[in-house]
Amino acid sequence: MWRAIRKYSTKPFYVTSPIFYVNASPHLGHAYSMLLCDTRARWERLNPEKSSYLLTGTDEHGLKIQAAAEKRGVDPKQLVDEVSQNFKFLALKLNIGYDRFIRTTDSDHMETVRYFWDLMKSKGLIYEGSHSGWYSISDETFYPENQIMEVTENGVKKMIAKESRTEVIFQEENNYFFKLSQFQDQLIQHMEENPDFVVPKSKYNTLLAELKLTKLSDLSISRPSSRLKWSIEVPNDPSQKIYVWLDALLNYLTAAGFPNTFNKTESSFETQASNIWPATHVVGKDIIKFHCVYWPIFLMAAGVQLPTQVIVHSHWLSEGFKMSKSLGNVVDPIATQDYYGEDALRFFLSEYSNIETDCNFSEAAFSLSRDTLIGKYANLVTRCGGAKFNIEQSVEFYEQGQYEGIDDLITKKAINPEAAESIIKLGHELKHKLDSLYLTMDKKMAQFDQMKAIQEWWSVIELANVFFQTAEPWLYSKKLNDDKAYQILQNYYVFLAAESSRICSILISAIIPNLAGKILDRLGVDASKRSSHNARVGGDITYGKNANSKKHKIPIERVPTRE
């Protein structure tokens, strides 16, 4: 049975993480890939006129899984059923709002793979042949002669792949081949016509240069069943199993309903699926060849529209070094989340990341990031939500137009007249930044540059705190009965601080949905008024009820830096 996909009134933003190989426990890189997708999908949905579809999952076939199952003395399916739950658990702990968690052992996916194989065979793009070359068991792929090198380790010479540094052995066997070389010029043309197809630009330039310099060889897309038992059988040939990377890549089409939701013609599929295709793929830099060379060529061969974009992200280091068990510096994302909380981990991975260069996890930097989030962001709502103030009334004053001519009132009635000019200037700047923040962040989020989007967000939070501290609204509390002007001024200062907290919480909810939601709840913002349409000054004039009650709990507590 093909899995049904709900209908969308407009085509959603379809974003995919890599599907993760279940031969090891989830690590920080897996968390980062998921989070890049989730924050981008949530950002899309902030606009009520848009929608998104997020796919993640697990890659469950192959020799490494077969070997791991044999070592444990269990059936491979039993093993993958167990281990795939670890990745589902990671998604749960990180609050990843996926639409589907796909597994390559899902029945509809295996049907997609067999259908695709038959389609390629019918087009004359698959042929039988003898294959010899340098094979990496770890990477489950053959490497050409120019991509291997000899090294000596502990006095023993061995051959390794230059790219992955994994050991390779020379093998000769009969396989099925896919005519990859036939599509090289077409792929080069597509990349030249679509310079944003691969991001960042450095990866695009390197890939395009390699494609122009090196002729592609046809790709071995099967393995002997005598060696590889745990994989999808080649249709009508039980002696061969389908290459795991062909199997894995097709998951993106399976989730889009291929081939049922694709309109078929005699020789190919029309350029768009009726529902969610094409996709934007998020992948680590170690699998760029599979997603930016093999995958688009497979799609070209099938007559399916190519992905909109492939976002290639860097890796995470630990205290400046590559994570490894031998160094004892592997960061467990689940243990980190358990100690610091979901919001802190999501925020740090977004704030300290850069898709182009390797990122560094530091316990000290992580703790500082969390403390700053509390001190500058969460504390803003605590300050304007104090018992001396009345957020609900400050919003009502805005609705009544009582802040018209506020600059003159500040000039005449500010308790600290020396600060009046600064208060006026800061207020104007803050209102301008609040009104433009969504569009400013949107440009960065559209480029998967969460770090710079957060920097723009921080600039508004910091300005709001400076404004509040400069305006000193608490000084007006004892004079509220003396002159209504003091009540208007205090409410104006509180209103801008509350608006800063409200608008910034709406926009940061894509990054830290839990904490942002708590602060919006504290402000009394209705769930229906938390979209990008409301992210402007005066974008919601219904909130504030009970916002200054003493019953509210602190939305996030400080914790000491983990030892």
Q: Which domain holds residue 431?
A: 370-534
Distance CA 49, CA 296 (A): 30
Instruction: Indicate the pLDDT class of residue 267, thresholds 50, 70 and 90.
Output: low
Other beta carbons less than 10 A from residue 171's beta carbon: 15
Mean of the per-residue pLDDT values of the chain: 93
- Nearest CA-CA partner of 452 in 361, 343, 354, 531: 354
pLDDT given at position 269: 57
Task: Note whether residue 520 is domain-resident.
Answer: yes
Number of residues written out for the chain: 563
CA dist list (Å): 259 to 219, 276, 289: 23, 13, 25
pTM above 0.85, yes or no: yes
pLDDT given at position 137: 73
Other beta carbons less than 10 A from residue 459's beta carbon: 13
Distance CA 370, CA 340 (A): 8
Task: Note whether residue 464 is domain-resident.
Answer: yes
Other beta carbons less than 10 A from residue 478's beta carbon: 11
Q: What sign does the dihedral 247-251-252-255 (CA atoms) show?
A: positive
- Nearest CA-CA partner of 304 in 55, 116, 107, 56: 116
Q: How far out from the chain centre does Cα 152 lie?
A: 39
- For residue 272, give the amino acid letter: Q
pLDDT given at position 326: 62
The fraction of the chain above a pLDDT of 90, given in percent, is 80
pLDDT given at position 291: 98
Q: What sign does the dihedral 280-119-259-221 (CA atoms) show?
A: negative
| CATH number, domain with residue 515 | 1.10.730.10
Task: Note whether residue 190 is domain-resident.
Answer: no
CB of 279 closer than 8 Å to CB of 308 = yes
Distance CA 415, CA 508 (A): 34
Across 468-495, average pLDDT = 94
Question: pLDDT tens-digit profile of 181-194?
Answer: 999 999 999 999 99
CB of 276 closer than 8 Å to CB of 14 = yes
Distance CA 353, CA 347 (A): 10
- Which structure tokens are listed for 473? 């609204």
Domains contained in the chain, number = 1
Task: Note whether residue 498 is domain-resident.
Answer: yes
Task: Note whether residue 558 is domain-resident.
Answer: no
Collect all residues with Cβ–Cβ distance below 8 Å to 26 and sequence separation of at least 6.
Answer: 20, 86, 87, 89, 90, 333, 334
CB of 30 closer than 8 Å to CB of 288 = no
CB of 10 closer than 8 Å to CB of 50 = yes
Task: Note whether residue 213 is domain-resident.
Answer: no
Question: pLDDT tens-digit profile of 217-255?
Answer: 999 999 999 999 999 999 999 999 999 999 999 999 999
pLDDT given at position 266: 46
Distance CA 526, CA 42 (A): 18
Question: pLDDT tens-digit profile of 66-94?
Answer: 999 999 999 999 999 999 999 999 999 99
- Which structure tokens are listed for 255? 């989730």
